Amino acid sequence: MSDITISEAKRCLQCKRPLCKEGCPVHTPVNEVIHMLLDGNIVEAGEKLFLNNPLSVVCSLVCPHEKQCEGHCILNRKGDPIKFGMVENYISDYYLNYVESPKVPRSGKKAAIVGSGPAGITIAIILASKGYDITIFEAHDKIGGVLRYGIPEFRLPKSVLDKLKDKLIEMGIKIRPNTLIGPIITVEDLFRDGYSAVFIGTGVWNPNTLRIKGETLGHVHFAIDYLKSPDAYSLGKRVCIIGAGNVAMDVARTALRNGSREVTILYRKGETSIEAEPVEIEYAKLDGVKFSFYRAPFEITDSGVKYHETEVIDKDEKGKETVKILEDNEGLFPCDSVILAVGQSPRRNIVNNSKGIDVNNRGLLVTDEFGRTTREGVFASGDVVTGAKTVVEAVRVSKVVAEAMIEYMEQTSNS
């Protein structure tokens, strides 16, 4: 264990009312875990974290800690909060490496998990720990969903996901890679083959477009596609990224790590309106990402991006701006490649090939607060329901959905 991890753990005040726990969406028992660690009970600490959050090892790396546990730490009021993400990662990584899951008697009931992103993995682990026979159906060749194909290696090493896969297999969970549910295997087929419930956690993989001229040109790419396999792209030295969310920051930093020398984010508003987390913006700046504000793209050409300048006409109390486009003021941002990072939406593989599963006007699955879709026995959570959210938010909701699935499967088996 590094000295800094020990020193961070020892700084914990063991508050009677741990605000850090209240600030965490899944109420991670920060003070209890730290106390266990310092008392030499790292296995018990790891188990407590894993039972509370099966993706603790992931959340320790990718959570916006400054808004959650660390942001609520009482030490944050006058100094530096405890870097709990660092402590949590050490404990969780140790637990995954050295502790085997206990064998649980099987109930005889099967559940199908479609998609192995944050929601799917969470549901699979919870149900398997309760004795259900679980099969994960993954469209890609490896598990992880957005964790593997949407978060860069420098933020979340793929080795972490490989350890999670080992844990799933150890728990008796079956994994079918390269299996797309919808066109060939349908939801009806799953119920026919004895699955008591089906969970859909397929995420959002269809990139949004700007609907401007030039988006089909050969040097234009979608952010979600680029992040899947950046080595497959030859972007050139000068790259323009359209969009200013967390994904745009990830893409920009990845491009710089893969040979591009000048990467600029083109944004129609100013810095106070950027959708990305402040810490992600700071990291992007540290890596050398440039920003070009108040420019609204209206066409992509072989030589770059044509834009109109914008001006601020209003600003709310949080600094978010409303701008208007100055169509008389236009320019060209020259670049070798353009990457569009303007959001994603769900694919319709399952909905178009199944009966009774409704979606809203954004294409997201319609569910109640317990993840029940409009078709009996089919549940859903994660980005396919909410749109792109944080990993820990997917875990929080999926814990509720898992309990609803258990209740449903027990009721139907007794009826």
Give the pLDDT confidence score for residue 127 in this predicted structure.
97
From residue 15, give the alpha-carbon distance in Å to each of 11, 19, 22, 73.
11, 8, 12, 10
Give the pLDDT confidence score for residue 414 in this predicted structure.
62
The tokens for 68 are 């959650």
The structural domains of the chain, ordered by start, are 3-98 (1.10.1060.10), 110-204+346-414 (3.50.50.60), 207-340 (3.50.50.60)
pLDDT, one tens digit for every residue, the chain (415 residues): 577 888 999 999 999 999 999 999 999 999 999 999 999 999 999 999 999 999 999 999 999 999 999 999 999 888 899 999 999 999 999 999 988 888 888 888 999 999 999 999 999 999 999 999 999 999 999 999 999 999 999 999 999 999 999 999 999 999 999 999 998 999 999 999 999 999 999 999 999 999 999 999 999 999 999 999 999 999 999 999 999 999 999 999 999 999 999 999 999 999 999 999 999 999 999 999 999 999 999 999 999 999 999 999 999 988 899 999 999 999 999 999 999 999 999 998 999 999 899 999 999 999 999 999 999 999 999 999 999 899 999 999 999 999 999 999 999 876 5
**Residue whose structure tokens are 């994904």:** 247
Contact (Cβ atoms closer than 8 angstroms) between residue 227 and residue 257 = no
**Dihedral angle over CA of 341, 259, 143, 98, nearest 10:** -130
Give the pLDDT confidence score for residue 169 in this predicted structure.
95
Give the pLDDT confidence score for residue 1 in this predicted structure.
54
The CA distance from 127 to 31, in Å, is: 28
Give the pLDDT confidence score for residue 98 in this predicted structure.
86
Give the pLDDT confidence score for residue 415 in this predicted structure.
54
The CA distance from 348 to 206, in Å, is: 9
Give the pLDDT confidence score for residue 108 in this predicted structure.
87
